[in-house]
Amino acid sequence: MLNRKFREDSIETYKKAERAYEATKLDVVKASETLFGERKRLKSIIGFNWDIINELKNKTAEMKLEVEKIEVEYKRYDSFLLEVQTEIAANEKMMAAVETLTMGAASLKMTSTTAAAIATTFRTVSSGAALSGGLAANASMAWLGGGAFVAGGGLAVGGGLMGLAGPVGWTLLIAASVFQNGKNKKLGREALEKASLLQKERVLLRGNETEILALNELTVQNRVGLNRLLNEIEPKIEHYGWDMRKIEQDRELLERIGVLLNTLQSASELLNKKVGDAT
């Protein structure tokens, strides 16, 4: 039949592009899960350090302000994560569908942790608008499951998370009974268009993966640095009875506490940094 081979070749091109896209999507999911785990560890060490700084007596007004800034960032992440987890728990049906997701040739068991990892890694949709924790969780589940989610009474494509469109809702409508020349040509062209879009989205995904890996490296560096500072400073602070008036006489320790405060601030901000955020 006229253009039948063109249609079949085009469909095969699309299928290859889709498999490649889904494999890359899987890499992004795994990278997000790794980052999520490292952020949990960083959050824990930030908490330990913040408790020590907060317990210091006779802090200066400037130091109190620094501690408050750290607390704001720390609690912002905590609140966002709680909202995400609450939304995921409330959507058991969607999670059940997501859990059986198959990505390309690889089958991946989806969990609430996976959905939370995506939601806390990507907080915006393709428009660039920030999402609340609940909507971010909803968007991440939809993206993982290849569906759509309702936001504020309207329909938003789940695959729009950070512009990652993917094959969501892309139906080529290839029926065995369709052999007309015009249909073959139309379906072939549509398949090639979708394949081209998928290839472009895959490039974006790879860029996202690179950014996630960089965030993960920074997270690990901050955690290790804070842990080292904690072990170095805490015994000396105890020696001075947790009193800043006495600590001020030890210029070296005072400088190290300043380094700790700066590192805590950076680490707390890092908890809230999302892929695609302006640098």
pLDDT in tens, 246-266: 999 999 999 999 999 999 999
Average pLDDT of the residues in 147-176: 39
Minimal CA–CA distance to 169: which of 185, 186, 156, 179?
A: 156
Asked if 269 contacts 73 with a C-beta cutoff of 8 angstroms, the reply is yes
- Lowest mean pLDDT: which of 52-61, 76-85, 152-161, 237-246? 152-161
What is the C-alpha to C-alpha distance for residues 65 and 133, in angstroms, rounded to an integer? 27
In a domain, 26, yes or no: yes
Asked if 134 and 145 count as a contact pair (C-beta separation under 8 A), the reply is no
Domain count, the chain: 1
Rg (CA), the chain: 25
Cβ-count burial 153-165 (b if 16+ within 10 Å, e if not): eeebbbbbbbbbb
How much is the average pLDDT of 210-230? 95
pLDDT: which is higher, 182 or 223: 223
Inter-CA distances, 243 with 62, 203, 232, 233, 253, Å? 16, 54, 17, 13, 12
Amino acid present at 81: L
| pLDDT tens per residue, range 23-53 | 888 899 999 999 999 999 999 999 999 889 9
pLDDT number for residue 231 = 92
Whether 155 and 112 have beta carbons less than 8 Å apart is answered as no
**Residues forming a β-bridge with 57:** 243
How confident is residue 274, by pLDDT bands cut at 50, 70 and 90? Answer: confident
Q: Is 108 a domain residue?
A: yes
* H/E stretch holding 4: helix 4-55
Q: Is 197 exposed, middle or buried (0-12, 13-18, 19+ CB in 10 A)?
A: middle
Assess contact for 8 and 186: CB atoms under 8 A. no
Tokens 């560096």, located at residue? 221
Confidence of residue 141 (pLDDT cuts 50, 70, 90): confident
Token readout for 91 is 């959507």
Tell me, yes or no, whether 21 lies in a domain: yes
Q: What is the mean pLDDT of the chain?
A: 79
Domain-located, residue 276: no
Residue 244 lies in a domain: yes
Position 104 scores a pLDDT of 42
Q: Is the pLDDT of residue 153 over 80?
A: no
Residue 278 forms part of a structural domain: no
Task: For residue 73, tell me if it sits in a domain.
Answer: yes
- The structure's pTM equals 0.82
Q: How many CB atoms lie within 10 A of CB 89?
A: 11
Structure-model confidence comparison of residues 214 and 190, the more confident one: 214
Q: 3-class SS at 85?
A: helix
- Domain of 259? 4-271
Evaluate if residue 177 carries a pLDDT over 70. Answer: no
Q: Which of 143-147, 248-252, 266-270 has the lowest mean pLDDT?
A: 143-147
Span 109-116, average pLDDT: 82
- Higher per-residue pLDDT: 80 or 2: 80
Within-domain flag for 277: no
